[in-house]
């Protein structure tokens, strides 16, 4: 698989080392729902790594992301290859400036299928779609989510909050490959320009439209 294709796959589903087990917390789903429910907007720089089953780093990317409920998000990958992924709540556009190509498809509303919707969608759906467990070490609180449905892009998702601020996300697929995303310069419930989620495809771009 090419580097650009690997980065594209990981960004659209959106994403280090595993947290050591800590003290178990009761009612993990209820606790996570309480933490995510007031989250209306979220923006951060990110560093994304793709790791194989043994923990060896395969690829790395960095950029900036924005989320706004319901269902809107924007990921801008700056290095090593530029890419932009934007959802306006109805459809997702993936733009590759190097190829001058844009792929547009309906937003998959299944929260178990798209991790980005876990953050930008309804927190109340967690208990219906995931088995949630949690552990805590100091100010770091980690939630492990296992989808109850079979048709998902990942087998396990981990969210780590530091002093109740989301700082780390990790997805593991059926092959053991992990996509780990560390967030920095985080702003929760700050002002996000609505134009971030209205992507205008540049003139001359080859547009591919996909149906659901």
- Domains held by the chain: number: 1
> 145-151: long-range contacts at Cβ-Cβ below 8 A with a sequence spacing of 24 or more?
145/32, 145/118, 147/112, 148/112, 149/110, 149/112, 151/110, 151/112, 151/113
Least confident stretch, 1-5, 142-146, 172-176: 1-5
Range of the domain at 64: 3-192
- Chain position carrying tokens 């280090």: 16
**What's the rounded mean pLDDT across residues 27-37?**
81
Query: Is 49 a member of any domain?
Result: yes
Query: Is 10 a member of any domain?
Result: yes
**Quick check: 180 and 49 in contact, CB under 8 A?**
yes
Query: Is 198 a member of any domain?
Result: no
Query: Is 204 a member of any domain?
Result: no
Query: Is 45 a member of any domain?
Result: yes
**Statement: the pTM of the whole predicted model exceeds 0.85:** no
Query: Is 99 a member of any domain?
Result: yes
Query: Is 185 a member of any domain?
Result: yes
Query: Is 107 a member of any domain?
Result: yes
Alpha carbon dihedral 155, 84, 101, 57, in 10-degree steps, equals: -50
- The string of pLDDT tens digits covering residues 155-173 is 898 999 998 899 999 999 8
Phi-psi region of 27 (alpha: psi -120 to 50; beta: other; left: phi over 0): left
Taking 60 as the threshold, does the pLDDT of residue 14 lie above it? no
Taking 50 as the threshold, does the pLDDT of residue 16 lie above it? no
Taking 90 as the threshold, does the pLDDT of residue 113 lie above it? no
For the chain, the maximum distance between any two Cα atoms, rounded to a whole number of angstroms, is 55
Task: Specify the CATH number for the domain of residue 83.
Answer: 2.50.20.10
**Quick check: 112 and 147 in contact, CB under 8 A?**
yes
């Amino acid at each position: 698989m090419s580097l650009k294709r690997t980065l594209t796959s990981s960004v659209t589903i959106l994403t280090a080392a595993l947290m050591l087990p800590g003290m178990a917390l009761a009612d993990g789903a209820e606790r996570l729902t309480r933490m995510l429910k007031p989250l209306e907007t979220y923006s951060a720089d990110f560093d994304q790594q793709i790791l194989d089953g043994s923990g060896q780093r395969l690829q790395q990317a960095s950029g900036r992301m924005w989320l706004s409920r319901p269902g809107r998000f924007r990921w801008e990958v700056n290095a090593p290859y530029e890419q932009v992924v934007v959802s306006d709540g109805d459809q997702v556009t993936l733009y590759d400036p190097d190829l001058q190509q844009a792929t547009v498809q309906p937003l998959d509303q299944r929260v178990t299928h798209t991790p980005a919707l876990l953050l930008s969608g309804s927190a109340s759906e967690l208990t219906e779609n995931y088995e949630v467990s949690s552990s805590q070490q100091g100010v770091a609180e980690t939630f492990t989510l296992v989808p109850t449905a079979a048709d998902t892009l990942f087998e396990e998702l981990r969210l780590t909050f530091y002093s109740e601020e989301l700082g780390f996300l990790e997805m593991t697929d059926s092959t053991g490959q992990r996509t780990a995303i560390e967030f920095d310069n985080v702003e929760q419930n700050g002002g996000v320009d609505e134009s971030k989620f209205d992507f205008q495809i540049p003139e001359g771009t080859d547009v591919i439209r996909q149906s659901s």
